[in-house]
Amino acid sequence: MTQQHSSLAFRWALRLHPAAYRAEHEAELTAIYAEATQDAGPLGRLREALDVAGHGLRRRTGLGSDRMAGQVLAQAAPLAVAVATGSFVAGLLWLFAPGVRTLPASSPPNVLSLANTGLTPLLWLAALTAVWTGRWTLARALVVPAMVLCLADVLLAAFASSGFHGTPSIAVIRLAVPLLTGAVVLAAPRDLLGLSQRRTIMGTTALAAVLVSSVQLIETYYPFTLGVLSVTGPLWAGILWAGVLAIALLFGTRNRLTVAGVAVAVLPTTLQVTVQLTPAGVVVLLLVLLSITVPFLRARRRHFQSTPPSAA
Amino acid sequence: MNERPLQEPTLLLLTALADEPRHGYGLIQEIDAISQGRVRMRTGTLYGALDRLVQQGLIRVEREEVVDGRARKVYALAEAGRDVLAAEAERLRAVVAEAERRLAARRAHAIRPKGALA
């Protein structure tokens, strides 16, 4: 099979590569694709082409596994899934607390919102299980519907103006965790993803759940908040996360990749706070910057004094 | 010695090149065989890994050839890659030995009659 006979999807996938890279590697990529799909059906060819497209986008954006940005994403991906899962599952469990009111299923936006509230945590939980067992292809497949569901919920609520109070920044707050976490998982180079340290994943998930539960407890006892699905919850969670991040990074530094990976993993949550730049948001932003910069510089100094990088 | 264990795709790739140089699709087939069908590396993922391992000096392009009108590169394990793979094999061997020792100790404990002296 030559390039003329390759599938349309594959030809588009090739075009996503930078021109110079394509000129150098197109013939070989085409040959590998042709051999790998010789007995494959349309779905198999499409999956193969999507993988090549992912490679092209990573080359174009500097997120390949040979680049530091890609290596940071690979470090961040399991932790980001753990943070999202812990947060969403704890949020779901709080809906069963006494006295909590949920939306009536009286209109399409409300139905979608209820579906999002109920299904999203389950999708993230399934994704976390896949990460736990090293099945990253499945994990990626699961975060896509979780992202789509949340996006559809927020957009439909915004268009219908029903049950959605506030400004565009509230939409950003609600979308930050699912969309950014999903983006981290999808963008991380597949060849750097495998079995993660289970104790770390479990600890991070539990920590996220505890932090969200703490926030819900605080909200329950403060009359000026709006309840379980309020906007102030994420603000408190962001402050708590920033504090945890600061402690973890300032007192538990290892290497630059780990430092950057942890920072990226909690970035979606902290972004919820900083997006409004309230006084609390500014404090969080400063805490995050400090807690990333200090260990990063420390690790960088150690890196230059010691060994060559590992193979991962 | 590595700071961290190798991730599975990297370990499988280096293992596939340990005995002889191979081209891209040959690597996909070999990884499939080594992992007993569990890992099916796709073209983009393979190519990303090859880019990285070449850049890290763990593998090298041994030659380029055209077979049946298809251009392809043949990759070989570099000396640094051989060292990394040997270190990882040693690490895994130590883990396996320890696991077997503990399992054997547990079995011995389980079949020891009640009241018998240690």
Q: What is the pLDDT of residues A77-109, one digit of tens each?
A: 998 898 888 888 887 777 776 666 566 656 666
Q: How far is CA A110 from the centre of its chain?
A: 25
Average pLDDT, integer, range B96-117: 78
Q: Shortest CA distance to A241 belongs to which of A303, A181, A287, A295?
A: A287
ipTM above 0.90, yes or no: no
Residue B60 is predicted with a pLDDT of: 95
* Inter-chain touch A311–B69, beta carbons under 8 Å: no
Kindly list the residues from chain B whose CB atom is less than 8 angstroms away from the CB atom of residue A312: 4, 6-7, 10
Q: Shortest CA distance to B44 belongs to which of A70, A51, A74?
A: A51
CA distance B105 to chain A (A): 25
CA distance A155 to chain B (A): 33
Give A42-62 pLDDT, tens digit per residue: 888 999 999 999 999 999 988
Give me chain A's average pLDDT, please. 76
Residue B23 phi, psi dihedral angles, 5° rounding: -90, 175
Indicate if the pLDDT at residue A175 is higher than 90. no
Indicate if the pLDDT at residue A232 is higher than 60. no
Where residue A104 falls (left for φ over 0; alpha for ψ -120 to 50; beta otherwise) is beta
Where residue A83 falls (left for φ over 0; alpha for ψ -120 to 50; beta otherwise) is alpha
Average pLDDT, integer, range A67-72: 88
A201 within 8 A of A131, measured Cβ to Cβ: yes
Residue B26 is predicted with a pLDDT of: 92
Measured distance CA(A50)–CA(A43) in Å, rounded: 10
CA angle B46, B51, B55 (to 5 degrees): 145
* Inter-chain touch B52–A255, beta carbons under 8 Å: no
Q: Which residues of A touch B (CB under 8 A)?
A: 2, 13, 25, 27-36, 47-48, 51-56, 58, 64-66, 134, 189-195, 255, 307, 309-312
A260 within 8 A of A75, measured Cβ to Cβ: yes
Average pLDDT, integer, range A125-154: 89
Pairing of strands B59-67, B22-23: unpaired
Nearest CA in chain B to A57: B44
